[in-house]
Amino acid sequence: MSLKVWSYFFEIVSSNEFGIFVKTSDYEFIKGYSMSFCIGLLGLASILSQKYPQTMLYQGDQNSSIELFEKLESEKLIKNSKYPIFISIPSFYALKWTNEFTKLIKEHYPEKIIIVGGRWVTNNESWAKKNIKNVNIIVNGQAENIIEELLHTKISKDTSCIYINNNDSLNKIPKLNYNILDNFLEFTPSIELSRGCGLGCSFCSDRDIPLSKIKTPINLINEIEEIIQIYKTPNLNFYFESSIFSPSKQWVEEFYELYHMRKLNIKWRCESRVDTLSEEKINTLSKAGLKIIDLGLESASHIQLQRMQKTKDPIKYLNKASKLIKSCHKCNIWVKVNILLYPGETIDTIQETRDWLKIHQSFIKGVSVYPLVLYGINEETNKFLNEIRLLGATPINNTINNNGITELNLSSTINLHTSKSLSTQISNEFMSINDYFDLKKFNYFPKSFNKDDYQEFLKKINNHTTPFQL
C-alpha cells in the first residue's frame, strides 16, 4: 500500500476519569487535566498502522468538539481522507461530545461515513440508533477482527444506520503503537494484559466474560522495550491494563527474571481483587517495578459483600485483603482501595467499612469511594434494577435516564445526596491532597503536570464533589 494512504481515528474519552463526580454539563471545568485514553481504540489503530503506516489517532477529550474539528480542518485531515471516520465511545459520559462532533462532520461533509463503537454504549441496538446521532454504522463488540474490512466500507447515500453485532473472540491482544497517538509524550503508556474477569460480582459488566489468557512475560517485556524506544527514556510509568491482574507463580517468576535480565527501570500500576494475589507474588513483583495497585475491596460489611456477590465467605475474604494490603506496604507498594456504596447500605454497613479502613489506614495510600451508578439501557440493566429494588434502591425520578446514566437512592436511609456526601467524607478521611496528587500524577495527569498545575486544577473543581474538601 502507498505510504500516502491516510486513515483517521477520533477518540472520545469519558470525562469521568478523575475520581470526582462530574455531570456532563460540567465537563468544561476539567477538560485537559486527564491524559488517560481509550486503549481499545489505540489497539484498533495500531492494527491498521501495520498496513497503513500513516495512521493517526487524535485524543478527543482534550478539546471541545468544535476545537478538535477546527484543528482537523486546519490540517485538512478530514477533507483529504477517503476513509471512514472511526469514533470510540467508551463511556456514556462521552455521548454528548460525540453527537456534537458528528453533527459538525455531517454539516460540512455529508458524504463522510462515520463508524462508532464502544461496547458499553452500543450494546442496545434500538437505543443506540436513536441516541447516537449522524452516524452510518454502529459496531457492538470487539472490532479487531473486522477493522480493516470496516476501513473499506462503502454504503449508499440512502442507507439508514447499519448495526453490526460482532461477537468474534479476540485471538491476540494487539500491541500498541504510541507513534500514531497525537501528543503521545504527554500520556502515561498502557499495556493491555488481559480482558474479561468472570468472577460474578453482581455490579460488574465483566462478570460473565471469562478472563482471557494473560499476555506472556516475554511479549510484555518486548512491548515495554519498544515503548521505551518510542518515548526515548527508560524511566517510564506504565499502566498494566487488566480487569483483574492475577498472574500465576510461574508468570511472576519469569517476568521478574526478564525484567532484570533486560535491566529495566520502569514502574507500573495494575488493578486486582484483594483475594487474588499472594504475599510471595507481591514480594517478587515489587522487585520488578510494581509501584501502585488498585484493589477492589468494595466493602467491609459482610452483608454488603454477599449482596454484591463478591464472596460467600466475608471473613475469609477480609482476612485475605488484610494480609495483601500489609504485604504491599511492607514491599513499598502504594495501595489504593476502591469502595463501592451499594444498594441496601445503611449507616451501620458503611460504618463497618470505615472501621475496617481505620484499622488498615497506615497501610493504605488512598481510598476512592463511589456510590453505584447504572450504565446502559437494556434487558440486563432492567433486570439488575429490579434486583436492587428489593434492597431498597430506587432510580432518581423513578426511571432510567435516556442518556444511559442512572443515579440511585441506595436505600430508604441513604439517598443519592447522602451517598455522594459520604463518599467525599470517607475519601477525605483516608486520602490526603498530596496522596491524591501522587496517585493521579503516576498515570492520569499529563506527564508535564506539576504541583502548581495541581493547585489550578483544584481551584477549577472546587465547586464539584471531590474526594476531599479544600
| Domains of the chain as residue ranges with CATH | 8-165 (3.40.50), 189-372+410-443 (3.80.30.20)
466: confidence class by pLDDT, cuts 50, 70, 90: low
pLDDT at 405 (0 to 100): 86
As a whole number, mean pLDDT of residues 361-372 equals 94
290-298, strands of its sheet edge to edge: 190-192, 237-241, 267-272, 290-298, 334-341, 366-371
Q: Which ranges of 232-275 does DSSP label H, i.e. alpha helix? A: 249-261
pLDDT at 375 (0 to 100): 85
For residues 38 and 226, the model is more confident at 226
Average pLDDT, the chain: 83
Grid coordinates belonging to 301: 460489611
pLDDT at 155 (0 to 100): 85
pLDDT at 470 (0 to 100): 43
pLDDT at 20 (0 to 100): 32
DSSP E strands in 281-396: the ranges are 290-298, 334-341, 366-371, 373-375, 394-395
Grid coordinates belonging to 40: 481499545
SS3 category, 386? helix
pLDDT one-digit tens code per residue, 204-220: 776 667 777 889 999 99
Q: Helix 65-74 vs helix 95-108: angle between axes, to the nearest 10 degrees?
A: 40
Whether 36 shows a pLDDT value over 80: the answer reads no
pLDDT at 256 (0 to 100): 98
Burial of 205 (0-12, 13-18, 19+ CB in 10 A): middle
Nearest to 14 by CA among 56, 66, 61, 69: 61
Whether 61 shows a pLDDT value over 70: the answer reads no
pLDDT at 208 (0 to 100): 67
pLDDT one-digit tens code per residue, 285-305: 999 999 999 999 999 999 999
pLDDT at 3 (0 to 100): 24
pLDDT at 203 (0 to 100): 78
SS3 category, 293? strand
Residue 166 sits at the vertex; the CA angle it makes with 162 and 169, to the nearest 5 degrees, is 170
CB 337 within 8 A of CB 364: yes
**Terminal CA-CA length for the chain:** 56
pLDDT at 91 (0 to 100): 82
The Cα 232–Cα 444 span in angstroms is 20
22: confidence class by pLDDT, cuts 50, 70, 90: very low
Highest mean pLDDT among 88-102, 175-189, 225-239: 225-239
pLDDT at 14 (0 to 100): 30
pLDDT at 33 (0 to 100): 53
For residues 374 and 350, the model is more confident at 350
pLDDT one-digit tens code per residue, 263-285: 999 999 999 988 889 999 999 99
Whether 17 shows a pLDDT value over 70: the answer reads no
pLDDT at 169 (0 to 100): 63
pLDDT at 8 (0 to 100): 38
44: confidence class by pLDDT, cuts 50, 70, 90: confident
Grid coordinates belonging to 276: 487474588
56-59, strands of its sheet edge to edge: 56-59, 8-11, 85-88, 114-117, 137-140, 162-165
pLDDT at 10 (0 to 100): 37
The Cα 38–Cα 118 span in angstroms is 10
* Long-range contacts, stretch 458-466, CB < 8 angstroms, 24+ apart: 458/433, 460/29, 460/30, 460/33, 461/18, 461/20, 461/22, 461/29, 461/30, 463/29, 464/20, 464/21, 464/22, 464/26, 464/29, 465/20, 465/21, 465/22, 465/420, 465/423, 465/424, 466/20, 466/424
Amino acid type, 338: N
260: confidence class by pLDDT, cuts 50, 70, 90: very high
Q: What is the pTM of this model?
A: 0.86
pLDDT at 34 (0 to 100): 56
CB atoms inside a 10 Å sphere around CB 222: 14
Whether 107 shows a pLDDT value over 50: the answer reads yes
Phi, psi of 168 (to 5 degrees): -60, 135
pLDDT one-digit tens code per residue, 384-399: 889 999 999 999 875 5
The Cα 224–Cα 230 span in angstroms is 10
**Percent of the chain topping pLDDT 70:** 86
Whether 89 shows a pLDDT value over 90: the answer reads no
Least confident range from 23-32, 84-93, 344-353, 391-400: namely: 23-32
As a whole number, mean pLDDT of residues 52-60 equals 78
In the block, which residue shows the cell 436505600? Answer: 411
For 43-57, letters b (16+ CB in 10 Å) and e give bbbbbbbeebbebbb
Cβ neighbours for 268, distance < 8 A, ≥ 6 positions apart: 237, 238, 239, 240, 289, 290, 291
